[in-house]
Structure 1
């Protein structure tokens, strides 16, 4: 939830100028490649991860966008994240990559809406199965 909130805050700052605005203090002009699209991904995917809706898919998209940001923006400046200012991009990338594999937590909204059948749970029989005689 915290990673999703922080990621969404970055997107909101870039798109709406809240929380200090974009890096230059303002907003990113709409449609600007790749900054505006990255901000939309940050806000959308961060909000989904925060809520626990489609966590794996949102985390996959967010991780990829941060990998792109690191290798296209930060890494050409210098090799190491401490030298090129890419610490947050690297940390977000790996945090979201972890969420792709671990999935949402116990407080995710997906748990309320999902109807997955887990181990030890009972399933309902269809009307055809109920009408059929039981044979051993």
Structure 2
């Protein structure tokens, strides 16, 4: 089997798993479930900067990445938010992620950047919408005028 044949499904699985894990972080922080904010068992107060806003990005845009809707833009925003988290929260504590606890931020940043560059894969709402629009254009294209 050629890798080109499985590229779309594998990319989709990567996007789905990454999005789901990101959404779990947002849900934990906003609602205090799944261990809560950083394992405290509690939710962050609404509007707390930057944690609550980061969690809102994780929840909303992570969900969009998960389902594959507005995927590239959403993934780029998620990637940027994790770059911000790494450089403002983790890097002041040490240069390397293993020293500063920023492994998750670094991995999410680069994972979402990969999705932003390579797209959502075969199993995404963006792909379905693109196929439907392309099919609609072919179906409703005017017949060529013969002279």
TM bucket, shorter chain: 0.7 to 0.9
Cross-structure match for 1:83 = 99
Higher gyration radius (CA): 1
Report how many aligned residue pairs link the two structures.
129
TM-score of the superposition, structure 2-length normalised? 0.81
| Greater fraction helix | 2
Asked if structure 1 preserves the Cα contact closer than 8 Å seen for 2:30 and 2:55, the reply is yes
Distance 2:141 2:115 in 1: 34
Distance 2:29 2:116 in 1: 25
Q: Detail structure 1 runs of 4+ shifted over 2 Å in the superposition.
A: 111-118, 121-126, 132-135
Does residue 16 (structure 1) correspond to residue 31 (structure 2)? The answer is yes
Say what the alpha-carbon RMSD is for the aligned residues: 1.8
1:1-136 superposed matches below 5 A: 1-23=16-38, 24-114=40-130, 115-117=132-134, 122=138, 124-126=140-142, 130=143, 133-135=145-147
Distance 1:106 1:113 in 2: 11
